[in-house]
Amino acid sequence: MSAAEQSAGPCPWHLPVWQALTSRAQQPHAFLFGGSAGVGKRQFAEAFADWLLCLQPQGGRACNQCRSCQLRLAGNHPDRLLVAPEEEGKAIRIDAIRQLTDFMVQTAQQGGRKVVILHPAEAMNLNSANALLKSLEEPTAETYLLLVTDQPSRLLPTIRSRCQVQTLPTPAHDQALEWLAQRLPELTADQHAALLLMAGGAPLRALSLHAMEAARLRGQVVEDVKALLKSQKSASQLAESWNAVPLELLADWFCDWTLDLLRLKTGAAEEAVNTDMGKVLPYMARRVPVAVLLDWQSWLLEHRGMILGKANLNRVLLLESLLLRWKQLMEKR
């Protein structure tokens, strides 16, 4: 059996949490694994589900040899259920929760435990969340529900209160860089650092950003923004030309630059963390009043929340508004 076929296990920086959970004599029936996007929560939940279902766990890990592990490795374990949106970015509908409920009340086909992984938990709409409550209030013996979320605050308080909330931390910077270098040996140390910075210190998000060529996209956006500030390109031109750039990334990048502006303006930092903007951020920080920056940041965070919440936004109009507001910062004194 190849290494790829084995249970991946938790990320190294989550081993203390893993050891604490797997050393318990008894487990609560519902967990809520939270933490920043891209720190390895889904991987942790998958490994924990593997361990719960394993008939002969060894050293705190699934054995990958027993009948239950063989079924799981074959991809058809009858007592393991993944609940997720039908399409990425869509809601988890009530039909999926009804399937979950039916699964949880059935007898385990392998005669042991049943495990449900629900990811991302914040994707449940209100009807789905209310339907899930019944399963949480009336747990079935030897059935475990693992909720995974980047945004625990978006879940109903009644759901959070019925789960053991376990925050999975972001690794230390050096540990994250080492892990990333092992997986992307073709990149330089500077490229690893730039990816990790863009990912907010989350290594698995850094891998995803590399896969979508985020560094190249960001470079294009930086040059376009500089052209906008020099009136060489218009906001409408850029809004139309950024079709390949996810809105989530654009919102994150403008948040990065805005935070640098505030640090520079208030004296919290002497240099920008995000150096890709060159002299633009120091120049803007000297010109823009703090009150104007805070007003801009408030608008940006509000709309970033709408983007992350999958609100039905007009992409082109949103980007035009964002870019016009950004350019107007240059005109403030």
What DSSP character marks residue 27?
Answer: -
Mean residue pLDDT of the chain comes to: 92
* Average pLDDT score over residue span 215-226: 95
For a pLDDT cut of 70, what percent of the chain falls above it?
A: 97
pLDDT (tens digit per residue) in 55-104: 999 888 999 999 999 999 999 999 999 999 988 878 899 999 999 999 99
Domain boundaries, the chain: 3-167, 231-329
pLDDT (tens digit per residue) in 181-217: 999 999 999 999 999 999 999 999 999 999 999 999 9
Separate counts of helices (H) and strands (E) for the chain = 15, 5
- Predicted confidence at residue 2, as pLDDT, reads 31
Are 222 and 254 a contacting pair, CB within 8 Å?
Answer: no
Does position 140 have pLDDT exceeding 90, yes or no?
no
Token pair 């290494």 is found at: 3
For a pLDDT cut of 90, what percent of the chain falls above it?
A: 81
pLDDT (tens digit per residue) in 281-303: 999 999 899 999 999 999 999 99
3-state helix, strand, coil in the chain (%, to 5): 55, 10, 35
- Predicted confidence at residue 165, as pLDDT, reads 96
* Average pLDDT score over residue span 130-144: 88
Are 32 and 150 a contacting pair, CB within 8 Å?
Answer: no
- Predicted confidence at residue 333, as pLDDT, reads 58
Paired tokens of 291: 């009150």
Q: How confident is the model at residue 173 (pLDDT cuts 50, 70, 90)?
A: very high
- Predicted confidence at residue 1, as pLDDT, reads 32
Does position 5 have pLDDT exceeding 50, yes or no?
no
Give the alpha-carbon dihedral of 99, 101, 106, 107, to 10 degrees. 120
71 forms bridges with which residues in the sheet? none
- Predicted confidence at residue 4, as pLDDT, reads 34
- Predicted confidence at residue 87, as pLDDT, reads 85
Q: Residue 66: name the closest of 322, 58, 4 by CA.
A: 58
Residue 134 CA to residue 156 CA, distance in Å, equals 13
- Predicted confidence at residue 92, as pLDDT, reads 93
- Predicted confidence at residue 278, as pLDDT, reads 87
Q: How confident is the model at residue 6 (pLDDT cuts 50, 70, 90)?
A: very low
- Predicted confidence at residue 89, as pLDDT, reads 78
Q: Which has more confidence, 108 or 10?
A: 10
Residue 233 one-letter amino acid: K
pTM reported for the whole predicted model? 0.86
Paired tokens of 32: 């809520």
Least confident of 3-7, 122-126, 176-180: 3-7
Q: How confident is the model at residue 330 (pLDDT cuts 50, 70, 90)?
A: confident
Q: How confident is the model at residue 164 (pLDDT cuts 50, 70, 90)?
A: very high
- CATH number for the region 3-167 comes to 3.40.50.300
pLDDT (tens digit per residue) in 232-279: 999 999 999 999 999 999 999 999 999 999 999 999 999 999 889 989
What secondary structure does DSSP assign to 274-317, as a single string? -GGGTTHHHHHHHHS-HHHHHHHHHHHHHHHHHHHTT----HHH
